[in-house]
Every structure is written in C-alpha cells, then in structure tokens.
Amino acid sequence: MSAAAALARVVVGAVFTVAGMVWVGYRLGPERFWPLALLQYLPYPILLVPAAVGVLCSWALGRGWRIVALAALAMVLGGAMGLAIPLPLAADERPRVRLMTWNIKASLASERPDGFAALARELDRHAPDIVVVQDAQELDSHRGIGKPVAALFGDRHRFALGQFVIASRFPLRDCASGFASSGAAGQAWVRCTVAIGGSDVDLYNVHLRTPRLGLDATRRELLHGEDGGVEDLERNVAERLQQSRALAAAVRAGPRPAIVAGDLNAPPPSLVVRTLLKAGLRDAHAGAGLGFGFTYGHAFRWRFSFLRIDHVLVGPAIGVAGSTTGGAQGSPHRPVIADLVLAGAGAARLVRP
C-alpha cells in the first residue's frame, strides 16, 4: 500500500468516526454534551469541509471506502445540517393560508434610513395572511417613517405586546402573554386564537432565550482562559429548555389546533425543538421545505446563513403545502414562510403555492 493510500484511509476513517459521533450525539440531544451544544451553533463548514475532503480522498481507494465517506457526508448533511427533501404531496384543492414569522430586529432597522422600508418590501413580496414578528419593540417608539406599524401590516387585525406583534387578515381574540417562569426565562411567547374560516386555531408567537451570552462566555473561556464559560452555557441551555417545556405544556393543554411560530434560538436537532415536537407538533420545513432552510448567520462577517433557528411548527390537524425562507436584506434573521392547509377553512383566501 502506498503512503498516499494509507493517508487517505486515515482521513476517511477519522472523518467517518467524528461524523458518527456527532450524529449519535445529536440523536441523543446536543444539549446533553456541552461541546455539541456549542457545535450546533457554529458555521456548518466546520463539519461539511472535512466530510467533503473525506469523499475526495475515498476516490483514491476502493468502493467500500467510498461508501464509508459518503455515509459520513450524509450524516453531516442530514443529521447535523438538517437537509430536507420533501415527499411529493397529493393534490389538495383546499384553500391555503400563508403564515410568515420573522424576527425583524426593529432596533437595527430604526438605525438605517431605509430599515423599515426594507421590512415592508419583504412583507409585501410574500403577501402573508398572518404575520408574527419578534424583537419589534422599536415599532411603537420610532417616528422616522410616520407610522411603521401601519406601514408594515396594513389593515390586518393586530395584537402587540412588548417585543411581539401578531397581524392577521383573520379576526384575533383571547390574546394573552405566556410565561415560562419568573426571572430570565420568563415571558417567551404571546398567544391569540385566530378565526380562519370555519376553524379556530391557537397561534403562538415565540421568542426563546438567546444563546448569545452562553456562547460568548464559552468562547472567552476557551480562547482566553476566563472562568465560568461552560457553566454559563449550560445555564443558558437550561433556561431555553425550561421555556420550551412550558410552551409544550401550554400546547398540550390547548383545546384547539396549534401553530407555534417564531425564533426558537435552537436548531432542529436540539432538545428545545424536540420537546415541542413531542407535544404533537410537526416541523413545517422538515415536512414541506426543500434544502436547509437556514435563517440566521448572514449578518456576520461570513455573509451566509448557516443556522435554522426560526421555525413554524403545526399541530396534526394542520397540513403544510410548502415552506421556504425569505430574503436577507431586512433583518439579521430571514423570515420563514409556510403555506398551511386547515380543515374547514373554506373562507380563507387562496394563495399561490
């Protein structure tokens, strides 16, 4: 065996081993192991590039080694990056309701001359029937463009509380705030009942605890030797899990079909998302989206999105005809747009698939 072939085998074997460990760890729940809890928020090339190198090296070896390398690549693409390939859907002539969720970072938009105009253009481009936005505190206080709330949401019915806004072409009622607990893991969502044709749906607009503080603290500990970083990360994870469990309990206790939409600050493999799926919800992108559906990361120096932390989750009584992400111009978060099918929603406006 040549030295090049021996090296290629070592590379392919190492890549497969690491990819397999990550895949198993993600299946168990990345938050159970702090290195994986950190890894799931890092740019995907950290895993994808070695997997691609393993595939290239395997081509100098036999068929078995190529299969091993492709299996490692599949574990990265599917298990870590969340590649979605939807199955063909049967024709469904029922009306569709377009829902859009977006963390608009209104404070950042208020600092740009065209910030709110860019948000309005993105909303107009997708023409959603229902919009849920997070980080919208600046909409009430900003005076630079007249009335930004009306400019963004038009004549939709609206409910606003703190950072949350729900705007709907359908009537809203029984709107309330949701609390996971007191303290840092407190208010995490608002809920309204939406009357869509002949169906009433409980709509949750959600923004869970940001991982930023825990990630920054861990980075400082790893790079500069500061104490407490891992502990801060684990505390941050525990708060987000606490919020997701409280939200899952609220969904289970609800008497109506539920839609959970918003910034969960958690990628699909996380225990945060898994907790909500165990409450009977389904991931709209995983079922009807194509590709990775990344929504966050393009505002960093790398200039590309590499995380899917914004989600639309639906109950079993709600179908999903399609799911996609919007543009990167208006906010550090891309919006998520889902076309939903509701039983009995005969009065809902048809939207293009």
Tokens 């200039």, residue located: 303
Give the pairing of strands 310-314 and 258-263: antiparallel
Q: Residue written as tokens 């009622």?
A: 173
Longest dimension (CA), the chain: 74
**Pairing mode, if any, of strands 336-342 and 96-103?**
antiparallel
What letter does residue 90 receive in the DSSP assignment? P
Exposed e or buried b per residue across 7-43, where buried means at least 16 C-beta atoms within 10 angstroms of its C-beta: ebbebbeebbebbeebbebbeebbbeebebbbbbbee
- Residue 348: predicted pLDDT: 40
Taking the C-alpha atoms of residue 182 and residue 196, their distance in angstroms, rounded to an integer, is: 33
Q: Are strands 258-263 and 199-207 parallel, antiparallel or unpaired?
A: parallel
Instruction: Supply the DSSP symbol for 339.
Output: E
- DSSP for 10-44, written as a single string: HHHHHHHHHHHHHHHHHHH-GGGSHHHHHHTTS-T
Instruction: Give, to the nearest 10 degrees, the angle between helix 3-28 and helix 45-58.
Output: 140
Other CB atoms within 10 A of residue 202 CB: 19
Closest CA to 284 of 325, 326, 330, 247: 325
DSSP for 173-206?
Answer: EEEEEEES-SGGG-EEEEEEEEEETTEEEEEEEE
Global pTM value? 0.91
Contact 323, 100 (CB under 8 A): no
Phi, psi for residue 223 in degrees, rounded to 5: -90, -35
- d(CA 171, CA 334) in angstroms, rounded, equals 26
Q: Three-class SS of residue 214?
A: helix
Give the pair of three-digit tokens for residue 6. 């021996």
**Residue 212's pLDDT is what?**
86
Q: Rounded to an integer, what distance in angstroms lies between the CA atom of residue 75 and that of residue 71?
A: 6
Q: What is the CA radius of gyration of the chain?
A: 22
Least Cα distance to 31 among 230, 224, 227, 179 occurs for: 230
- How many Å apart are CA 68 and CA 45, to the nearest integer? 20
**Partners of residue 338 on adjacent β-strands:** 99, 323
Full DSSP string of 94-147: S-EEEEEEEE--HHHHTTSTTHHHHHHHHHHHH--SEEEEES-THHHH--TTS-
Task: Name the residue among 217, 279, 219, 215 with its Cα closest to residue 253.
Answer: 279
For residue 67, give both structure tokens: 């299969």
Distance between CA atoms of 194 and 173, rounded to whole angstroms?
7
The SS3 assignment for 80 reads: helix
| pLDDT tens, the chain, 353 aa long | 688 889 999 999 999 999 999 999 999 999 999 999 999 999 999 999 999 999 999 998 889 999 999 999 999 999 999 999 887 766 566 778 999 999 999 999 988 888 889 999 999 999 999 999 999 987 765 444 446 677 789 889 999 998 999 999 999 999 999 876 555 556 789 999 999 988 899 999 999 999 988 888 787 776 556 666 788 888 999 999 999 999 999 999 999 999 999 999 999 999 999 999 999 999 999 999 999 999 999 998 888 999 999 999 999 999 999 999 999 999 999 999 999 998 655 444 433 33
Tens of pLDDT, residues 94-133: 778 999 999 999 999 988 888 889 999 999 999 999 999 9
